[in-house]
């Protein structure tokens, strides 16, 4: 299953490589590119961690997998993830990558945060209905903050009572 996710992401990455020369920097920020590989969709705004690093921007990522989302488990749609790319110095969100069946329905949350120059902390402090797929943004932010602090990453959300 993870191979299918990687294939969807690579297919979408090819789309970015083809579209990027035609877009201005401002257009790239607003862009939500997608590609379908089987049932999986990969959607993202801005650029990848590697491209930011090539530009000299020190970035970190936070990931959360849908398999740990209560809503995904209820719907039986547990394949995929949300990845947040953010600047280490100030935790400002620079990019969002989503792979999964409902990626197109989730990307606008990340696009709004990027457009507003928000930090990844915003996903921790926002109120999300429970259970929803959007809640996965919160767990990706927690993962990113764990990586930033040098702690072992927590891929799964805390169980009740673990907080």
pLDDT at 155: 57
pLDDT per residue as tens digits for the range 14-63: 444 333 443 444 444 444 444 444 445 667 677 788 888 899 999 999 99
Both tokens of 69, joined, read: 């989302």
Q: CB neighbours (10 Å) of residue 58?
A: 9
Both tokens of 63, joined, read: 């990931």
Domain ranges of the chain: 2-148
Q: How far apart are CA 27 and CA 151, in angstroms?
A: 36
Strand boundaries in 31-76, DSSP class E: 33-37, 40-45, 59-65
At residue 124's C-alpha, the angle toward residues 73 and 94, to 5°, is 100
The more confidently predicted of residues 99 and 34 is: 99
pLDDT at 156: 53
- Strands 33-37, 80-87: pairing is unpaired
Task: List the one residue out of 50, 41, 55 whose CA is nearest residue 11.
Answer: 41
At residue 75's C-alpha, the angle toward residues 96 and 36, to 5°, is 45
pLDDT at 13: 47
CATH of domain 2-148: 3.30.390.30
pLDDT at 150: 87
pLDDT at 120: 96
Both tokens of 65, joined, read: 């997998």
Q: Residues in the chain, how many?
A: 163
Q: Give the three-state DSSP class for 121.
A: coil
pLDDT per residue as tens digits for the range 56-96: 999 999 999 999 888 999 998 888 999 999 999 999 999 99
The answer to whether residue 132 scores a pLDDT higher than 90 is: no
Tell if the pTM clears 0.85, that is, is over it: no
The more confidently predicted of residues 124 and 33 is: 124
């Amino acid at each position: 299953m993870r191979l299918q996710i990687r294939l969807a992401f690579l297919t979408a990455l090819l789309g970015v490589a083809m579209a990027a020369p035609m877009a201005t920097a401002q257009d790239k920020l607003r862009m939500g590119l997608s590609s379908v590989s089987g049932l999986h969709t990969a959607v993202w705004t801005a650029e990848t961690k590697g491209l930011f690093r090539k530009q000299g921007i020190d970035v970190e990522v936070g990931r959360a997998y849908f398999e740990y989302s209560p809503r995904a488990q209820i719907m039986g749609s547990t394949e995929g993830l949300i990845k947040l790319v953010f600047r280490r110095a100030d935790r400002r969100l620079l990019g969002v990558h989503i792979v999964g069946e409902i990626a197109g329905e989730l990307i606008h949350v990340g696009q709004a945060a990027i457009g507003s120059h928000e930090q990844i902390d915003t996903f921790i402090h926002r109120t999300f209905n429970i259970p929803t797929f959007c809640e996965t943004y919160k767990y990706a932010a927690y993962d990113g903050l764990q990586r930033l602090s040098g702690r072992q990453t927590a891929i799964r959300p805390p169980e009740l009572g673990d907080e």
